[in-house]
Chain A
Amino acid sequence: MLRTGTRHAPRRRGDSGLWLAAGAVALSLAALIALLFVLLQQSARPFLPAAVAELRWQGAAGPQQALAAIVREDADELIARASEWQRRGGAYLRIARADLLERTFPPDALALRLADGRELYLRGDAHALAALPSAAGLALPGMPAELPLRRGELVEILAPNQLGPGGRLRVATQRAWAFVSGSPGGDSGSAGLLPALVGTVVLVLLMSVLVMPLGVLVALWLHEYAGRGALAQLLRAAVANLAGVPSVIYGLFGLVLFVHGLGAGLDALFHADALPSPTWGTGGLLWSALTLALLTLPVVVIAVEEGLARVPAGLRQGALALGATRAEMLWRVVLPVARPALLTALILAVARAAGEVAPLMLVGAVKYAPALPLDGEFPYLHLSKQFMHLGHSVYDLALTGADAQRDLGEAHAAALLLLIVVVALNAAAIVVRNRLRERSRELSA
């Protein structure tokens, strides 16, 4: 049948599919933005200086009065933080709106922070206080006589009620930077993420160095040498299934194989007298990196194998036809062409490894290890030592802190930092990959 008449533009089929897909994308984006928003908002909380108020309220035993920092308030109640004269976690006040008699914000209210993380709220002149010599005792109205303090014990003197928005932001930035670049003081309660940051980065780099050669070799064997034999098929199935094993199982495996097996064996064999330095038979950086390398090996193998499969057959034959042996062909032509795929594999491995916490708790990450795993002391990289990890810090701050209000905020800050580290590591790899891709793009044309 001959069709005549006007031609219609091809009807846009699957419009409902388009809407569904677009909706899914919008939902994912919204979730991502919400996550970032929550992280940013929550992690700003412990760093932004709170206003300090003179509160009077109706207590159970009559009217009470205190100088306190407003932490949170809503329609029903007000949560404030009073001076922490003794270290026992935050001294929080919870006052129902109905009981609140009076609230003023005196401009001379001071928020003083001690080296151990405690905060005190008093009234006085911030400039005069800051100018005191460090040995001078503090004499401010409202200080209990039995708890003398010296100027040197204060690490921060603020008059928060006098700060404008810019000043608050400046203080928040300073505090956040001190938090990120500082070391934790252990029992003294001061916080800092630097060891965890360095530990995370060093761990991921070490893991990459360990997993990439191994993964590439396994993929090469599977794709180039093994053929379709029963052994190769079995191995392929094993690799594919290993990718789905829960990470804590790898942690347990690492604990038994590396820490208790290999590590304890090393200790007994080589330096039983030199213990405890180094001690290989406890969790440590190397064992953690090895465990993560095992964890990410399937991901790397699968991604590299796919990359090898995409290398044009013409290039392989071209190399062979010029007298290359199989190994020379792989080494000089196939692997260079597959370099973008190797970086994709690395990106996937880093993305999987950087966020892992569960296996690390079994093989080396600890709550408190302020010494950096990388320093100027021989042998510079301390492979046998326990280390701190941002993921572990998030868990630790969120669940085991003494001061729930502040620590939860700090947990969010650690989470944000972990996110930044993962994104930065991935971005670096993606930049390198795109450079390589530009060179080999024309191949697929």
Chain B
Amino acid sequence: MSRLRLAGADGLQPMPGGLLDGLELALQARALSLHYAERRVLDQISLSVPRRRITALIGPSGCGKSSLLRCFNRLNDEIADCRMDGEVQVLGVDAYAADVSVPDLRRRVGMVFQKPNPFPQSVGENVAFGLRLAGLRSRLELDDRVETALRAAGLWDEVRDRLDDSALRLSAGQQQRLVIARALAVEPEVLLMDEPASMLDPISTLRLEELMVALRERYSVLLVTHNMQQAARVADYTAYMQDGRVLEFDTTDRIFTNPRLRGTEDYITGKL
């Protein structure tokens, strides 16, 4: 499966020297191509995501950001007719090796979706879902881990008395933080966030961004966003994608103040 090619060999821009020097890598894609049936959505992508940093993926709609995200937790496996070439490493291990357990991989690489997707169960059961899957049975420990996760997601104070209520009664912003808590409960190392704030109002978005910055202490975050201000506010590094390729990758500061490519600049400034 892993056909290794050197980055840059196919006309890709090489990584700017020294950008991620000294940083551990959480995720790494090399020469990653993805086809849905005959349609190519990712084209020879190489990207490195550092640990305990927030990396933003920006780019026009349909450029393959979400598809790339789903390569890292193998959610594309569920799509019939989906073919992947190249190499994906998660925390230094080949994620597509034959001996990799996909459920275990997904427990280490949590994901938050664009639309809040709490299960139609109680608030507490939602957060405990992944823990139960992992085989945790002790009521005490479950309660403890649920509380920890809800605190980490900044939701505990709002729902501590409503743990047995239906999760569907929460507001959209609360639901999105609930599914983040649900993802955090299984203690992943990486968090993939696919436009997590696109359905939220400005106040909820602000809270979510504060949460992301707080999560940076312990988690490596790969964030897909259409909101330039959001990328500029929270991300340490930013990658610009277009037509299934990563065209530019740099610190967020440099991407937003001094992009190397004309395309990046046009997109950021809204000319594209």
The listed residue (B78, B104, B107, B113) touching A318 by CB distance below 8 A is B113
Q: A318-B179, A322-B183 are in contact. List 9 more A-B contacts (CB 8 A).
A: A315-B119, A322-B106, A322-B107, A322-B110, A322-B130, A323-B104, A324-B133, A328-B133, A442-B169
The listed residue (A321, A325, A328) touching B111 by CB distance below 8 A is A321
Q: Using Cβ atoms and an 8 Å threshold, which residues of chain B touch A186?
A: none
Cross-chain contact B113 with A320 (CB below 8 angstroms)? no
Cross-chain contact A323 with B117 (CB below 8 angstroms)? no
Cross-chain contact B119 with A320 (CB below 8 angstroms)? no
How many B residues touch the partner, as a band?
A: 20 to 34
Cross-chain contact A439 with B120 (CB below 8 angstroms)? yes
Q: Using Cβ atoms and an 8 Å threshold, which residues of chain B touch A162?
A: none
Cross-chain contact A322 with B129 (CB below 8 angstroms)? yes
Query: Can you pick out 20 interface pairs between chain A and chain B where the beta carbons lie within 8 Å of each other?
Result: A227-B80, A314-B115, A314-B117, A316-B78, A317-B111, A318-B117, A320-B106, A321-B73, A321-B113, A322-B130, A323-B133, A323-B134, A325-B103, A328-B133, A336-B121, A337-B119, A337-B120, A439-B166, A440-B120, A443-B120
What separation, in Å, do the CA atoms of A325 and B105 have in the docked complex?
12
Q: Using Cβ atoms and an 8 Å threshold, which residues of chain B touch A243?
A: none
The 10 closest A-B pairs by CB, nearest first: A314-B117, A322-B130, A323-B107, A321-B111, A323-B103, A442-B168, A318-B117, A323-B106, A440-B120, A324-B133
Q: Using Cβ atoms and an 8 Å threshold, which residues of chain B touch A325?
A: 103
Minimal Cβ-Cβ distance residue in B for A443: B120
Q: Using Cβ atoms and an 8 Å threshold, which residues of chain B touch A442?
A: 120, 166, 168-169
What separation, in Å, do the CA atoms of A336 and B122 have in the docked complex?
13
Interface residues of A, count at CB 8 A? 24
Q: Using Cβ atoms and an 8 Å threshold, which residues of chain A touch B134?
A: 323
Cross-chain contact A321 with B120 (CB below 8 angstroms)? no
Chain A at the B interface: SS class: helix
What separation, in Å, do the CA atoms of A394 and B199 have in the docked complex?
60
The listed residue (A228, A321, A333) touching B119 by CB distance below 8 A is A333
Given contacts A227-B80, A317-B113, A439-B166, contact A323 B186 (CB under 8 A): yes
Cross-chain contact A322 with B115 (CB below 8 angstroms)? no
User: Residues 300-332 of chain A: 1 if any B CB is under 8 Å from the residue's CB, otherwise 0?
Assistant: 000000000000101111111111110010001
Q: Using Cβ atoms and an 8 Å threshold, which residues of chain A touch B119?
A: 315, 318-319, 333, 337
Q: Is B75 on the interface with A (CB-CB < 8 A)?
A: yes
**Nearest chain B CB to A140 CB, angstrom units:** 73
**Nearest chain A CB to B46 CB, angstrom units:** 24
**Nearest chain B CB to A322 CB, angstrom units:** 4
Given contacts A317-B113, A322-B183, contact A332 B129 (CB under 8 A): yes
Q: Using Cβ atoms and an 8 Å threshold, which residues of chain B touch A439?
A: 120, 166, 168
Minimal Cβ-Cβ distance residue in B for A337: B120
**Nearest chain A CB to B74 CB, angstrom units:** 9
Q: Is B182 on the interface with A (CB-CB < 8 A)?
A: yes
**Nearest chain B CB to A332 CB, angstrom units:** 7
